[in-house]
Structure 1
Amino acid sequence: MEPNITIVGLGAGDAGHLTLAGWQALQSKRPLFLRTAVHPTVEYLTKSGLTYRSFDHLYDQVDSFDQLYPRIAEEILQETEKGPLTYAVPGHPRVGEKTVEILLAEAGRRGLTVDVIPGVSFLEAMYTTLGLDPSRGLTVLDGLDLKASDLAGRQGIIITQMYSPLVASEVKLTLMERYPDEYRVTVIRAAGVSGEERVETIPLYQLDRLSWVDHLTSVYVPPKGEGDGADQESPAEEVERESGAQSTADRFSSGKYPLDPLVDVMFRLLGEGGCPWDREQTHESLKPYLLEESYEVLEAIDLKDDSKIREELGDVLLQVVFHGVIAQQEGRFQIGEIVQSITEKMIRRHPHVFADISVADSKEVLVNWEAIKAQEKGEKVKSPSGIDKVTTALPALLRAEKLQKRAARIGFDWVDWHGPREKVREELAELVEAIDSGDKRHIRDELGDLFFAVVNLARFFQVNPEEALHRTSDKFIRRFRYVEECCRREQKNMTDCSLEEMDKYWDEAKAQGL
């Protein structure tokens, strides 16, 4: 009886890697589906007159491979309702093929029959290229799910799925937890494919600097004792031996990490065949995201959560790179000019560090900064205030604070905090009068004056008004949730509780320090 699904391995990338059984299955009259048409053997199928349908369009519709593979498998299973079919995948169907794994499990549950026809996998091709005998011991790992704990032991390792510089960077960082920076690894692209195979042995630290890494790329890590520098103890192993500390990537905390992988990813997303949503974005459409990500950094800092700070800073960096790549694609400026410009500016504005200028304290640093800034803009330096240079795009509290600081630099300021305190009282009294008058425009103006006065008072006590208001909002949330919980314990909705009851719960929350 003909199986519902015939799965064929297309081999490592050369038409000669197809088995006779596989070629016969591909030529059958059954509908032919390919996981991807981005594979060297597919060109031979096309030239041979075979017609097929690939699932490449799904790659841009999902956020991760965890979503992609089940979706492909489900579409294949749905197609079996129309009749038997052939499904072809790169390499060997049982080597690193998640869709096949899912199909076999689900077909068994649904009572469908499956025939798997092998193909020469990239592993066999690599054995030949590298002169390896796997019977001596070899570990095969997925680069998309690589952990330092996977690297135990002293046998050779082949790491698959190293399909982009970004993945290569992640693989490199993980390997560096167990291997020295200079450890020699071999990168293989299109193993066994005539005219396309490329092999290069490099130090581990250069792993993410190869421009030709793509979906046909794997890396071979030789057994310890065979790579250059293998007799050296890796930094992580040295830490573990001397202090028993966990093998983390702490050693990178003071090192440099290239921006190139992120830039490469953005060029890929914004290029032909990239992400439709990303390609629709402009400087204007991205403005809300830059502001949102910046505020999330502030939130992470308030939480004192280093992991979240790192993550949110990465999101802000993504926005910078996003804008830079858009500008470069439009021919406005090169993304490298962003780094070059700010680097030159920081050196130029810190002559007390990079030149022979002396300063007495941080206040003098600020005076010099404003003077240098004015010279850069070709302005005549008369005053460091530049009050008209405070951007209107800032949040209102922050803008008010900056205006006051600028004015204070030229002496337009209160002597001490008593002045702004009295100003708050004065503006509050004027607000009360405005409220009594019932004039909404007057009320709005007096509220603005009161806010401005409060910001001034905060400045004298070195309190960030944005942060202070955020903390009060957080406090309100904590106490409000307490009131909600009290109402629930009484088996009441908040709308059923009287204001007196809710005030009592609120006072309880306040007494508890919430």
Structure 2
Amino acid sequence: MEIIHVIGVGPGPLSYLPAEAKRLLASAPHLVADSGVRQDLELERKGRGLTVAEAGRDPGDIVDSLRHLAAEHAEIAFVVPQSDPTRHAVVRHLLAFKVTEVVLHVGPGELELAAAALGRPLETVLVIPGTDLEAGAIPTRFDLLILEPRPGDLGRLSALLGASKRPRRSVTVLGWDKGRPSSRRVGLTPRVEGAGGFDGEAEGAEGASGADGDAAAQEMESVFALYVPAPAPDGHSFDDLVEVMARLRGPEGCLWDRQQTNRSLARYLIEETYEVVDAIERDDKAHLSEELGDLLLQIVFHAEIAASEGAFDISDVIDGIVTKLVRRHPHIFAGTEVTSAEDVERNWEQIKRAEKAGKPEGGAGEIAGPGKAPSALAGVPASLPALLYAEKLQAKAARVGFDWEEYRQVIEKVKEELAEIVEAKETGGDVEHELGDVVFAVVNLARFLGSDSELALRGACTRFINRFRQMEELAAAAGQSFTELSLDGKERLWREAKKRQAFDG
């Protein structure tokens, strides 16, 4: 059976290919070369048995030519510029036929060559194509490896990186010098994009200061990537927080922190959450940043306590939420098609139900057992604040069709529940029971109208505070003691304060 060897050259010279790939380049009965590697192969083969697959040809036609040549010579090689041959369109077509035997030879990749050029391994790096620089934005918090840079990319990098909140000090040009991976570090000086170059100083082994950045690149035989290290952080990192918390809980740590348990900290978690909400409602970004930090501390604190008990640590927490997000967004990570936000929400709920099938539900509904389907209300924590608890239960019921048809029906239900309070009061019935039904119905009305009952009530509280303070100020301005005013006098001030608030907007 005929064999087609596919050799991925990668960005380096042919001398960096594996031994078997180099043997095939030299001695295979016939070579077919992508036009992107034509020049090097012409030197290698000296015209012997070499066909060039010109750019623009239909991949199917090239595959037919490869199969005919393989049938004629029994064994041929097809050479492509990518280090991973499967990235080439013709190779993908060839593999889809599953008739001819195809042997893939993977060349050294950009990461491997970049590590060789830098003289150290790249443990974490974000790889992006040079074309992304045209979009006008690049990630700012990671080591970057920019592949296949083009003329002017150094200038674009200078403008983009210099304008970021955390400007970077240098970029390293990676290429080939005398047949070996090499690097030239260039200091960044932000300059207006479009001048076709880059302002900077080369910092090579000879310390050639003052050289233009493009000149540093031109010193090499070819350039295959640009490496941009992440900026040094101006402050502390998440790892610093984890380390500080571990020390506070350690043998020589803080006595108070060491005594805490997940249960003893629960109240602080709730308090910090409400302080975050308060900063959001006041649109106070400075305090929001601070309060989010306090809330993050609680999460790290709880995880550190669990780690000391051998239950889990913060890495497990992060791994769990990332895994969950990926699993519950199949339209992003698994190719599932959606056409609306409602489709996304339905998928989310279906995946959640599948995850919880057969597990203790930890909230509303019964625990699922063998042969027993979980409740549609499952998964709502009973420890939620009452308004939010009610709203989530109602929303889950609505998702399975248990809901009103239009808002007037909900208003009538509120009126019905109010009437039952009056009846309970007058007949000695359970007023608290009926009052709960009224609040539940009002929360349902808010949900049906698309409002958040918690935010609505907090807004009412804020308006009450503002009006009450204005009542006190009006009384003081009139030389009156607010506490000594009659109820009618206070009512007049209330109406006046309400009018002024409405007027003020």
In the superposition, the TM-score normalised over structure 2's length comes to 0.51
Q: Report matched runs for 1:433-472 at 5 Å.
A: 433-439=423-429, 442-472=430-460
Structure 2 SS opposite 1:482: helix
Q: Measure how far apart 1:438 and its partner are.
A: 3.8
Q: Which has the larger radius of gyration?
A: 2
Q: Measure how far apart 1:416 and its partner are.
A: 0.9
Task: Select which of 278, 282, 286 maps to 2:257.
Answer: 278
Q: Measure how far apart 1:434 and its partner are.
A: 1.4
Distance 1:312 1:369 in 2: 29
1:69-89: CA deviations, max 9, x gaps? xxxxxxxxxxxxxxxxxxxxx
1:6-53: CA deviations, max 9, x gaps? xxxxxxxxxxxxxxxxxxxxxxxxxxxxxxxxxxxxxxxxxxxxxxxx
Q: Measure how far apart 1:256 and its partner are.
A: 12
Q: Report matched runs for 1:133-144 at 5 Å.
A: none
Q: Report matched runs for 1:49-448 at 5 Å.
A: 180-182=168-170, 230=187, 232-233=189-190, 258-379=237-358, 386-439=376-429, 442-448=430-436
Distance 2:399 2:459 in 1: 29
The worse-fitting range, judged by mean Cα deviation, of 411-420 and 377-386 is 377-386
Structure 2 SS opposite 1:337: helix
Distance 1:366 1:179 in 2: 39
The 3 A distance-change label for structure 1 pair 489 and 427 is same
Unaligned runs of 5+ in 1: 1-175, 185-227, 236-250
RMSD over aligned Cα atoms: 3.1
Distance 1:182 1:496 in 2: 72
Distance 2:235 2:397 in 1: 40
Q: Measure how far apart 1:487 and its partner are.
A: 2.8
Q: Measure how far apart 1:267 and its partner are.
A: 1.1
The 3 A distance-change label for structure 1 pair 178 and 330 is closer
The 3 A distance-change label for structure 1 pair 319 and 183 is farther
Are the counterparts in 1 of residues 357 and 373 from structure 2 also a CA contact under 8 Å? no
1:253-281: CA deviations, max 9, x gaps? xx998420111111122123322222221
The 3 A distance-change label for structure 1 pair 261 and 280 is same
Structure 2 SS opposite 1:479: helix
Unaligned runs of 5+ in 2: 1-163, 173-184, 193-229, 359-367
The 3 A distance-change label for structure 1 pair 319 and 357 is same
Distance 1:415 1:487 in 2: 48
1:479 has 2:458 as partner:
no
Asked which structure has the greater RCO (Cα within 8 Å, sep 6+), the reply is: 1
Code of the aligned partner of 2:274: Y
Task: Select which of 460, 482, 489 maps to 1:494.
Answer: 482
Distance 2:325 2:347 in 1: 13
Structure 2 SS opposite 1:180: coil
In the superposition, the TM-score normalised over structure 1's length comes to 0.50
Aligned residues: 277
Distance 2:477 2:462 in 1: 23
The worse-fitting range, judged by mean Cα deviation, of 481-490 and 285-294 is 481-490
- Aligned partner of 1:513 in structure 2 is 501
Are the counterparts in 2 of residues 270 and 279 from structure 1 also a CA contact under 8 Å? yes
Q: Measure how far apart 1:363 and its partner are.
A: 1.8
Are the counterparts in 1 of residues 377 and 393 from structure 2 also a CA contact under 8 Å? yes
Distance 1:326 1:181 in 2: 40
Q: Measure how far apart 1:183 and its partner are.
A: 9.9
Are the counterparts in 2 of residues 367 and 384 from structure 1 also a CA contact under 8 Å? no
Distance 1:349 1:479 in 2: 45
